[in-house]
């Protein structure tokens, strides 16, 4: 959420930002919120005038009491008694306006960073860098579904009967490999000085509304029936929620947290959810990182966090590229975001495996996350980044480390988590 002062002082900048995000239908919201804000300020001024009048009457009563004029005392007391009721009426009206303003402000997108390329959708995202050589072997790469079945490492049919489409049972060495990459990702982040957190898998609606846009909420989140609770789509939500309504001592910044969690997503409108595979599912596991810091440090942290994910995948012998998200591909709270994509030798193209985002003040304003330093209090900046999400990382690992006989070579960094095993082989 942007600062209402920015809308008051520079509405044209806010409108231009909306145009850059190709959301022209939201331009009317700026004028609407300006009108409501003007009405709100008028009510606030009326309240202040009434309070000043109440103080003035109180002084007059004290003076009249000293003079002993009883008739004037009763008249002034009657006037004084009416003022609190009038203030209460104005407060109720102002509160109603505040709620309306907040709903609209939640829909106005965050101001994008000046470096963000302008584009309509993900097709106009900009490649930044390729890291590692994207190779295509001289043998046919087995699809991850077929290979997992050959390795007796997955059961889709039972999962479908048990839970429906978009789920699977992992088994044996494939399940072990899935766990190994997550354990490695966790230890990698701890080695970078991040504090490991075990988070709840459910959060309240006020936290959900603080960390994501209404559009994302509708597409992603599972609501718990008859409860003010949602299943998390990522542990980022719980991690940011830790700081809701808190004022952090600036000396303790940056706050660097990492968490493993199961993630639950509706994938509403997603294509391919009916198909077998790990790529798009309703439940998966992920290691996440977040940073809460001073604004002046946030883009340094953005670069560091992005590099951490690149390093994790390169240590798994997976070539990657970084892709700058254009303006039209940024969710409303994002100021700047970059996708990390892994190479698929089977498809001969890259596919998304993670995303690094700087929200700047957007989440902090919604959740009232502030820091105090040298006597000044300001909103913090919040950043999040996928360290590794197991299904997509597992696909990339199975393809890039696949051997001609269908076996999977286990990268050195994972071997300690696999009991020293160097290869997963198809059992005849």
pLDDT score for 1: 84
| CA-to-CA separations, 365 to 166, 314, 343, in angstroms, rounded | 35, 36, 37
By the 8 A CB rule, do 352 and 392 touch?
yes
Q: Bridge-partner residues for 343, per DSSP?
A: 350
pLDDT at residue 354, as a whole number: 94
CB burial of residue 337 (10 Å; 0-12, 13-18, 19+): buried
Angstrom distance (rounded) from CA 303 to CA 309 = 10
Residues 206 and 96 in one domain: no
> Domain count of the chain?
2
- List of the chain residues with pLDDT < 50: 274
- Is there a single domain that holds both residue 80 and residue 131? no
pLDDT at 216: 84
Which is nearest to 428 in space by CA: 142, 150, 143, 155? 150
Is there a domain that residue 393 lies in? Answer: yes
Please give the radius of gyration of the chain, using alpha carbons only, rounded to the nearest integer: 28
Residues 190 and 291 in one domain: yes
| Sole residue written with tokens 């004029």 | 69
CATH number of the structural domain spanning residue 58: 1.10.287.40
As a dihedral over the C-alpha atoms of residue 210, residue 214, residue 219, residue 224, rounded to 10 degrees, the angle is 60
Residues 334 and 368 reside in one and the same domain: yes
pLDDT per residue over 156-172, tens digit each? 999 999 998 889 999 99
Final residue of a structural domain among 60, 82, 107: 107
d(CA 361, CA 198): 25
Domain boundary among 44, 78, 107: 107
- For helices 27-67 and 11-20, give the axis angle rounded to 10 degrees: 150
pLDDT of residue 269: 56
pLDDT tens by residue, 106-127: 999 999 999 999 999 999 999 9
Last residue of a domain, which of 107, 130, 157?
107
Q: Which pLDDT score is estimated for 285?
A: 95
Let me know if 201 is exposed, middle or buried by CB neighbors in 10 A (0-12, 13-18, 19+).
middle
Contacts of 203 (CB under 8 A, 6+ apart): 229, 230, 232, 237, 238, 241
Structure tokens at 387: 């360290």
Domain contains 112: no
Residue range of the domain that includes 412: 122-424
Residues 132 and 88 in one domain: no
- Which contacts (CB < 8 Å, 24+ apart) does range 210-213 have? 210/240, 210/241, 210/244, 210/363, 210/366, 210/367, 211/236, 211/237, 211/240, 211/241, 211/333, 211/363, 211/366, 211/367, 212/237, 212/331, 212/333, 213/106, 213/107, 213/331, 213/332, 213/333
User: What is the structure's pLDDT at 77?
Assistant: 72
pLDDT of 268: 66
Query: Quick one: CA torsion of 251, 308, 394, 230, rounded to 10 degrees?
Result: 30
Which tokens belong to 269? 């409108």
Cα separation, 274 vs 4, in Å, equals: 44
Bridge partners of residue 372, in order along the sequence? 249, 377
Domain containing 157 — which CATH number? 3.30.930.10
- Give the C-alpha separation, 373 to 363, whole Å: 20
Kindly state whether residue 418 falls inside one of the protein's structural domains.
yes
Helices and strands, number each (H, E), in the chain? 13, 18
């Amino acid at each position: 959420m942007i600062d209402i002062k920015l809308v008051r002082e520079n509405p044209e900048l806010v409108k231009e930002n909306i145009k850059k995000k190709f959301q022209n239908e939201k331009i009317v919201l700026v004028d609407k919120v300006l009108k409501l804000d003007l009405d709100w300020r008028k009510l606030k001024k009326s309240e202040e005038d009434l309070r000043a009048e109440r103080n003035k009457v109180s002084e007059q009563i004290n003076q009249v009491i000293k003079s002993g004029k009883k008739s004037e005392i009763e008249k002034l007391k009657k006037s004084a008694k009416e003022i609190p009721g009038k203030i209460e009426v104005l407060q109720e009206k102002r509160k109603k306006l505040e709620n309306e303003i907040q709903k609209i402000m939640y829909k106005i997108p965050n101001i994008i960073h000046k470096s963000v390329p302008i584009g309509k959708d993900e097709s106009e995202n900009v490649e930044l860098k390729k890291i590692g050589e994207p190779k295509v072997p001289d043998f046919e790469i087995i699809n991850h579904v077929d290979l997992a079945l050959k390795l007796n490492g997955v059961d889709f049919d039972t999962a479908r009967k048990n839970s429906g489409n978009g789920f699977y049972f992992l088994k044996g060495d494939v399940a072990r490999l899935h766990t190994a990459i997550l354990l490695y990702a966790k230890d990698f982040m701890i080695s970078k000085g991040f504090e490991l957190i075990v988070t709840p898998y459910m959060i309240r609606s006020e936290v959900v509304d603080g960390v994501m846009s209404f559009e994302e909420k509708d597409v992603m989140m599972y609501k718990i029936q008859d409860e003010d609770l949602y299943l998390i789509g990522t542990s980022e939500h719980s991690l940011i929620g830790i700081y809701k309504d808190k004022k952090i001592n600036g000396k303790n910044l940056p706050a660097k947290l990492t968490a493993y969690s199961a993630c639950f997503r509706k994938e509403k409108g997603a294509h391919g959810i009916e198909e077998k595979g790990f790529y798009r599912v309703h439940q998966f596991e992920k290691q996440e990182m977040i940073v809460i810091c001073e604004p002046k440090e946030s883009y340094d942290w953005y670069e560091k966090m992005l590099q951490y994910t690149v390093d994790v995948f390169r240590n798994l012998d997976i070539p990657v590229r970084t892709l700058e998200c254009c303006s039209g591909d940024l969710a409303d709270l994002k100021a700047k975001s970059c996708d990390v994509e892994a190479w698929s030798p089977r498809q001969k193209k890259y596919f998304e495996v993670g995303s690094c985002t700087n929200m700047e003040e957007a989440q902090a304003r919604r959740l009232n996350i502030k820091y105090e330093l040298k006597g000044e209090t300001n909103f913090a900046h919040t950043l999040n980044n996928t360290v590794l999400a197991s299904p997509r990382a597992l696909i990339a690992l199975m393809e890039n480390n696949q051997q001609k006989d269908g076996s999977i070579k286990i990268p050195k960094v994972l071997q300690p988590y696999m009991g020293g095993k160097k290869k997963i082989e198809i059992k005849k």
